Structure 1
């Protein structure tokens, strides 16, 4: 939803923002600052209808956001650098809502870079799954539905993560383990809810591998396991582990970009396993300042104990983008939705218009 073709071809741990500006450089130390401001208008959410089913699009509304980030590096010797990244997203408008925070930390990690090929980092960083997710997560507002809108959602970032990544000569390898902390404690230390069931994640591990051939073909495979449990009002617990397999491919030639992503997920529940099988196909063409995009997303979801599976995601997403210059762009996107909820009710279409400026 926020990526560019450049980000698809360069491992994210090693790449920096194309708009980053060096604000400090002295005796092996360097600090780069970057950011963006974005404003969107349209129908890009859902609201309850008369039957409390979240299938109706919200009326036209607007949404503003801003990001600010810093990449830091300090040269220890010829082979080792200290590296770090901080990035925040800010709600770029006043609000009367009782939000917990209008500032979110997107990245906050520190670590080492060895021989300009291998990174070892600690903190809130990019999940290895992002290497596959970003093949089709290329729209400005929508897209990437089988990742972010799935009944068994995934994320491209992880807290409390130790990650090692290697990139050289077209090869990209990543592995990570996310530790438990005070917000992911053992069951005995949890406060029992008054009603309902709460999923508690304790830890996760993930790995990915990709290779980009010189002629523009890229292949990626990834796996993640999240370990946790379902906490109930009676203070009993059941496993709520999630397993996800991802496989994808991309091809770039002249002004064309094509990509496909497949995700197979399974989540344990007290009554059995929820299962999701999803795929996403993307095509786009760039000529001069214009980029045209089209994407199809489908997820077949089978809940434990359900009579039948259904199309929880069945969307066609269309988009057009115009680059005002190399830092600013206008865009329009439309989602033609045939997605369902469990009883077969269809979801409404959505659309969005926006402007984005990077610095």
Structure 2
């Protein structure tokens, strides 16, 4: 049976990694152990140089393991660990495995889930509207790491205590981020409502907010990080359309101007003939007060499904932006994300 785009891309809640995992052990009491893996190889001319780009190869690997242990007929202990895997033997020092998600928690059934650690943030409900391409390159919340150095934008960050639940067609996530050497504390909240309009399709609007408070007397004078986003996805048959607007701002304790990103992203995904998916998107992000970077990108991508879990991808990105300027707290992505560099990408992805 042909899977609709809705079934493939609209999970009931946020279960990054675990959604694709295969169960390798199932106990009589319902306990289970799951494993997930992803291996890929990409050919691209993206080398952070718009003038003299060369074709390079890139390996992409992920490995995840987790599961659940039954407490009673309503509750279970759950956990998940997922790592990015580097390929160059002996060349990556101590970074051969990079933690993406490492968390444990309790699934309380209809009362929701509580997880703690480096969790899949509820704000993914908003960022996923833009994150539809195989060569992931999301600019939303790109400044989060200035205040919290262990944050990967707002997708995931250490020391997070999170609650998630679904109430009918409404999905809710709320989290408290404990302090670390970079920040005092933080919190985030996100909500999504899925409106079923019958033959007219489904609409899934999302709102999200996060705030991080920096430690006192930091050498960079960072004080606070704020992010908010509003967006929606629209599904009809095998077509998905998405739009999201976001702002993120880093405030400082001295007379330094706040660094603020404002931007929007538009995406379209169409699944046809069971085996083919085409995607397109446009991004417009501008910074004021910080590095003054601009990201203005057009992206086109085609996916061919070799199996249910493995695919070939090819994409092209046309970029007409402006790289960040040198100076204090600038060039956030200057070492890898050249806003002027057009590039292509061809890749094979195998999942198990």
Name the counterpart of 1:214: 196
Distance 1:228 1:14, change over 3 A: closer
Name the SS of the counterpart of 2:258 in structure 1. strand
Residue in 2 aligned with 1:262? 245
Q: 1:178 to 1:57 in 2, by over 3 A?
A: farther
SS of match in other structure, 1:9: coil
The residue aligned with 2:323 is 341
CA distance in 2, matches of 1:114, 1:108: 19
Taking the TM superposition and a 5 Å limit, the aligned residue runs for 1:293-308 are: 293-303=279-289
1:13-45 Cα deviation digits (max 9, x unpaired): 398334513324233321111211111110234
Superposition map of 1:168-247 within 5 A:
168-181=167-180, 184=181, 200-215=182-197, 216-229=202-215, 238-247=221-230
How many Å apart are 1:90 and its aligned residue?
A: 0.8
Match of 1:77 in 2: 72
Q: Which runs of 5+ in 2 are unaligned?
A: 147-151, 326-337
Report the equivalent of 2:102. Answer: 108
Deviations 1:101-147 (A, max 9, x none): 11011111111111245001111101221110011201111442345
Structure 2 vs 1, CA of residues 201 and 59 (structure 1 numbering), >3 Å: closer, same or farther? farther
**Cα deviation, residue 96, structure 1:** 3.0
SS at match of 1:79: coil
Aligned to 2:73, the other structure's residue is in SS state coil
Secondary structure of 1:126's match? coil
- In the alignment, what sits opposite 2:334? none
TM-score by length of 2: 0.83
Find out whether 1:25 has 2:27 as its counterpart: yes
CA contact (8 A) 2:143 2:249 kept: no
Name the structure 2 match of 1:279: 264
SS in 2 for 1:132: helix
When residues 347 and 231 of structure 1 are mapped into structure 2, their CA distance, relative to the original with a 3 A threshold, is farther
Is contact 1:230–1:237 with CA below 8 Å preserved after alignment?
A: no
Q: Tell me the distance in 2 between the aligned counterparts of 1:45 and 1:204.
A: 35
Deviations 1:68-97 (A, max 9, x none): 212311121122111111112211333535
Q: Deviations 1:242-287 (Å, cap 9, x if unpaired)?
A: 1011111001111111001111111113312111111000012110
Distance 1:118 1:57, change over 3 A: farther
The unaligned stretches of length 5 or more in structure 1 are 48-54, 185-199
Shift of 1:180: 1.9
User: Residues 19 and 324 of structure 1: is their aligned pair in 2 closer, same or farther, counting only changes over 3 Å?
Assistant: farther
Quote the residue 1:354 is aligned against. Answer: 347
Judged with a 3 Å threshold, the aligned counterparts in structure 2 of structure 1 residues 141 and 253 are, in CA distance, closer, same or farther, namely same
Q: State the alpha-carbon separation in 2 of the partners of residues 336 and 101 from structure 1.
A: 31
Q: How far did 1:57 drift?
A: 6.8
Q: Distance in 2 between matches of 1:346 and 1:37?
A: 28
The 1:149/1:164 distance shift into structure 2, 3 A limit, reads closer
Q: CA RMSD in A?
A: 2.7
TM-score under structure 1 length normalisation: 0.82
> Which structure is higher in strand share?
1
CA distance in 1: counterparts of 2:343 and 2:111, whole angstroms: 42
Q: Quote the residue 2:129 is aligned against.
A: 135
- Alpha-carbon distance in structure 1 between the residues aligned to 2:259 and 2:143: 15
* Separation in structure 1 between the aligned mates of residue 127 and residue 179 of structure 2, nearest angstrom: 24
Distance 1:75 1:247, change over 3 A: same
